Amino acid sequence: MVRELSHYVDGQRVDGTSGRFGDVFDPCSGQVQARVPLAGRDEVANAVANAEKAQVAWGAMNPQRRGRILLKFVELVNANMDELATLLSKEHGKTFADSKGDIQRGIEVVEFAAGAPHLLKGEFSDAGGIDVHSVRQPLGVVAGITPFNFPAMIPLWKSGPALAAGNAFILKPSERDPSVPLRLAELFTEAGVPDGVFNVVNGDKEAVDALLEDPRVKAVGFVGSTPIAQYIYSTAAAHGKRAQCFGGAKNHMVIMPDADLEMAADALIGSGYGSAGERCMAISVAVPVGEETANKLVATLQERVKALKVGPSLEPDSDFGPVVTAAAKERIEGYIQSGIDDGATLLADGRGLEVDGHEGGFWVGPTLFDHVTKDMAIYREEIFGPVLSVLRAPDYEEALRLCTDHEYGNGVAIFTRDGDAARDFANRVQVGMVGVNVPIPVPIAYYTFGGWKASGFGDLNQHGPDAFRFYTKTKTITTRWPSGIRSGASFIMPEGS
C-alpha cells in the first residue's frame, strides 16, 4: 500500500494543494512506498506567513524556557528512537544502527542549543560615563534545505540552534525520504513548540526558489551538492539573505608508514563503505605513503572487502544497505566503468550485486580501485557511493599536496604514530575538518562543522557557537545618563576615549 504524505504547517499535517507529487521508494525493493506532495509557491507563502506570525511570541520568550522545550523534545525523540530509526532505514536504505546514529548526532546539537541563554549573552563595557552593551536578537523566519543522506541529523543541526535563538523555522527536506522530518515536526509540537514555529514544506526547486525569494525569510541553510550550494548561496545573497551552504566532498585519508595498518584498514572500510558511501564525510580516497605501505594496505583492504555483507537495512548483520534511488545506482556504476576506462586497477567490483528476496533493490556492492591517478574522474569528482580509491603517494609531502590541492576541502584524516607528523599535517593541510587517527572527523556538537573551498560557502559554519552567530543579529546600545554638566552642541565625531 502506497502511503500519502503531507506537509506540516501551523502545528498540523496538511495536504498538498499543488497537484504535484514525488515518489518515495523502498531502496531495498525498488518499489514505491509513498507519495509526497511537492509544494507550490502559494503553499510556501502560507507556511512563511504562519511562521512569521508565530515567531513574535516565540522570540520574546525567555530563552531558558525555549531551552526547556528543546530538552523535552530530546526526551521524546529518545522515547521514539526505534520508530524513527525504522522509518529512516525504510526510506533511506541505511542500516538500523546507522539510522540511530543519524538521529543521535542530531539531538546532540539540540542538547547543545538548549544552552542558548549563555550563547545569546552579549557584551558590556563601561566606557567612562558611557555604557555600551550588545544583545543578540533572532532574525525572524529562517529556512533549512536539507539532503536525503541525513534526514534527521542535518534538519536538527539547522533547526535546533535556530529555534533556541528565537526564530521560526521552515524545513524543506529531501523529497526522497521526508517521513522522519514530518515525524520530528510532530514531536516538536508535542514538546511544546508553539504552532507555526516549526514547519515542514516538501517540494522541489519551485519550493526552494519560493523560500529564496520570499523577503520574510531572513536566512537559509543548505547541505547538498556543490553546484546547488553555489546556486542557493548566490540567489540568497541576491535577495538580501544570509546563507550558509555546504556542498560536495572528496575526503582523503593519508596512511603513514608508521601507522597501525590494521587500524587504518578498519577505519577505511567503515568510513568508505558505511551508509553505502552516501556521506559527505565518507573517506573515498586512501593515500598510502610509500610502495611498501601501499602494498600492505591494499592486501589488507581486499580481505576486509570480501567479508562485507550488503543486505536489507533492517537485518542486523548487514554492514550497509542499498543506495537511495535507481538513478544513484546508475550514476555510481557509471563512475566504476569510468575508473576502468581510465586505467585504474579494479580490485573489487560492486556492480551487478543481487540480494536474495530483494532483487529489485538499488544494490551496489563495495568497490575498490588501486593505482588511481589525479586526472581520473573517480578521483576528481564526488561519487557518493561505496567506491574507495587508492592513490599511492611516494612521500609525505606529495600526500599533503594531494589533500590540499583538491578542489574540495571538507574533511581529511591522517593515520600515524608520529605526533610531529600529525601536528604538521593538521597545521598545513587546507581542509576544514581534520582527523588524526579518526576517519570521520565530524566535530562534537559544541564545535562547528564546515568545509573549505568548493565544500562550503558562507562565513559561518553549522552548529557550535557559529550557529548562534548565524541565526541572530547583533544590536549594540550606547547609553549616557545626564550628569548635570552642559557643554553645548558638538559637531565633531565622538571619540572612543
- Confidence at residue 128, expressed as pLDDT on a 0 to 100 scale: 84
pLDDT digits (tens, 9 = 90+) for 225-268: 999 999 999 999 999 999 999 999 999 999 999 999 999 999 99
Instruction: Give domain limits for the chain.
Output: 3-247+455-477, 251-436
CA distance 20 to 203: 9
Do residues 170 and 143 make contact, with C-beta atoms less than 8 angstroms apart? yes
- Looking at the DSSP assignment, which residues form a beta bridge with residue 172? 145
Q: CB within 8 A of 343, min separation 6: which ones?
A: 371, 373, 376
Q: What pLDDT shows up at residue 497?
A: 56
**Whole-structure pTM value:** 0.95
Domain 3-247+455-477 has CATH 3.40.605.10: yes
Q: Is 280 a catalytic residue?
A: yes
Site of grid cell 594531494 = 402
Q: State the DSSP string of 323-344.
A: -S-HHHHHHHHHHHHHHHHTT-
CB 28 within 8 A of CB 113: no
How do residues 91-133 score in pLDDT, each as one tens digit? 999 999 999 999 999 999 999 999 999 999 989 999 888 999 9
Q: What letter represents residue 362's amino acid?
A: F
Check residue 382 and give its pLDDT.
97
Annotated catalytic residue, options 28, 245, 280, 403: 280
User: For the range 446-450, what are the long-range contacts, defined as Cβ-Cβ under 8 Å and sequence gap of 24 or more?
Assistant: 446/112, 449/157, 450/246
Burial class (CB in 10 A: 0-12, 13-18, 19+), 168: buried
Class (C level, CATH) for 251-436: alpha beta
Positions of the chain with pLDDT under 50:
none
